[in-house]
Amino acid sequence: MSAEVTPFPTLAARAAQVGFSRDELQRILDLYGRMVAAGQARDYAMDFSKDAAVFSAFRRAAERPMARIEKRPALRGKQGIWALYGEAGQVLKRGHELPGVLAPMERKLLKLVED
């Protein structure tokens, strides 16, 4: 009987993956919760790779995301770490700070409440 041992992932392997900090994720999930309450979103997905961390919000699970928030640390010195993409894949906002990048989505939610 032969047993193959799979090594436990090391800290170096985890460091190669981009993720959201607790505060960043709290801010994103707060916005997502308000989108759900307004009837705009029903599902979300998160994707983590060595290049980017992505949060996508969906109207329905079987379609393109209505909004996608990306964190790409490699762009720190250029356009900024954060980017907000629309449903058609267009860049709605880029920046170095998350609150500024989320502002267009928050304004859209305020307009829904006022109507």
Give the domains, in start order, of the chain with CATH numbers.
12-114 (3.30.2440)
- Position 12 scores a pLDDT of 58
Closest to 35 in 3D by CA, of 56, 54, 53: 56
- Position 115 scores a pLDDT of 55
pLDDT in single tens digits along all 115 residues of the chain: 567 877 776 665 556 788 999 999 999 999 999 989 988 889 999 999 999 999 999 987 667 888 999 999 988 888 889 999 988 889 999 999 999 999 998 888 876 555 5
- Position 111 scores a pLDDT of 66
- Position 114 scores a pLDDT of 58
- Position 97 scores a pLDDT of 93
C-alpha dihedral sign at 61, 14, 100, 37: positive
Are 111 and 96 within 8 A, CB to CB?
A: no
Question: pTM score, two decimals?
Answer: 0.79
